[in-house]
Structure 1
Amino acid sequence: MPRAERERQMIDIAETVFAERGYVAASMDEIADRVGVSKPMLYEYFRSKEGLLVACIRQSRTALRDATELAVVGSADAEESLRNGLRAFFVFIREHREAWALLRHEVALNGTSAAEEVEATRRQQTDLIAFLMAGYFDDSDPLHVEASAEFVVGATERLAIWSERHEDMTPEQVTDYAMDILWHGLGVRARR
């Protein structure tokens, strides 16, 4: 098996184990066993359990960025762009529950490079939202744009956690709830 393909396989299985057991309880032995490789091979690829977790988070971050960026392409206006981006986020967390679990359970990662990767994921989404807002909104204050983007990311994270407790809610319904609250504050600033 080519190295890149083996690495993806290791990351995918590790993501499952980390989501099932939590980072602390997950073992490299179990991950190696499920992949069908030796534990030393895991260490050869990732150097440590934390290195493997970081690789999982980076893969998730890339997939989330791709999904949200693709969703906003061709949006007609700020409202449609926000709606499409939010829906892509809520669909992503529904379809990639294991990846979302890694991003959501950061408390166990405090003080590690993995916690820095989780924050980099947040920063990535905040930067994307701020970039889009700057193109759609009449706002010469970059700090106001940045603060608004931070607010959107924080609010949607909490709403995503809430939606996990309400399995019957579809990503579209959750997006409608988010838009109902967020757009009232943001819409007044959009260019007409």
Structure 2
Amino acid sequence: MGARKRMSRAEREAQILEVAERVFANDGYQASSMDDIAGQVGLSKPMLYEYFGSKEGLLLACLRRSKRELLEVTSRAAAHATGPEQLLYDCMLAFFRFGDEHQQAWALLRNEFSIPNASVNSELEAIRIQQRDFTADLLRQVRDDLDDEQAEAYAEAIIGASERLALWRENRPEVTAEKATEHVIALFAPGLGF
């Protein structure tokens, strides 16, 4: 029998977050147990608490990772766009693909109301605010006639519509990320003058 490879702290944390995200998404936050997560990771429960402090701390770490990754994928998409409509298209497509490729993270975001916790709800709202601010900044770059209020209002509408469309897609598997993006473009591009 070979010796187990020791993981760095960062590798172990990433492993814990992967397992926790899956357990939280599959079982729901309330029904999930630290014992189950620790067992699946191959750590003791006290060691799991050593890393994240509490079940809530573990959930918050999962949400923060999703927040960071969502901003990374949408930022990369924005960096390669060649015009305003392409910018909107690429960023929306990145958003929908993120949901498809990170279904467990999306399940956490989608089930926010099942977690009656102020710090968790604050972190979930921080994800929305991050994406709203990102979108508002992009809108101001392509429409210099927009004031801050307009850019923020338009961004709120785009983010809200995209979240609802992502939820709708869960029961419509035939609607691809590309098709969902086309729906967003058809709705918002004319009003934005693209």
When normalised by structure 1's length, the TM-score is 0.95
1:5 to 2:11 alignment: yes
Aligned to 1:122: 128
What aligned pairs does 1:41-52 form with structure 2 within 5 A after superposition? 41-52=47-58
Q: What is the Cα-based RMSD across aligned positions, in Å?
A: 1.0
Q: Structure 1 unaligned runs (5+)? A: none
1:36 to 2:49 alignment: no
Q: Which amino acid aligns with 1:5?
A: E
C-alpha displacement at 1:66, in angstroms?
A: 0.5
When normalised by structure 2's length, the TM-score is 0.94
Aligned to 2:103: 97
d(CA) in 2 for partners of 1:25, 1:12: 17
Aligned to 1:21: 27
Aligned to 1:112: 118
Q: Structure 2 unaligned runs (5+)? A: 1-6
Which region of structure 1 is more displaced relative to structure 2, 96-105 or 110-119? 110-119
1:178 to 2:188 alignment: no
Aligned to 1:69: 75
Contact kept in structure 2, 1:139 and 1:145, CA below 8 Å: no
d(CA) in 1 for partners of 2:71, 2:36: 30
C-alpha displacement at 1:10, in angstroms?
A: 0.4
Please give the secondary structure, in 2, of the residue aligned with 1:43.
Answer: helix
Which runs of structure 1 show a deviation greater than 4 angstroms over 4 or more consecutive aligned residues?
none
Aligned length: 188
> How big is each residue's C-alpha offset from its partner over 1:155-175, in whole Å with a ceiling of 9 and x where there is no partner?
000000001111121110111
> How big is each residue's C-alpha offset from its partner over 1:136-159, in whole Å with a ceiling of 9 and x where there is no partner?
013242101111111110000000
Which region of structure 1 is more displaced relative to structure 2, 54-63 or 133-142? 133-142
Q: Which amino acid aligns with 1:130?
A: A
C-alpha displacement at 1:104, in angstroms?
A: 1.1
d(CA) in 2 for partners of 1:138, 1:3: 45
Give the % identical residues: 47
Aligned to 1:142: 148
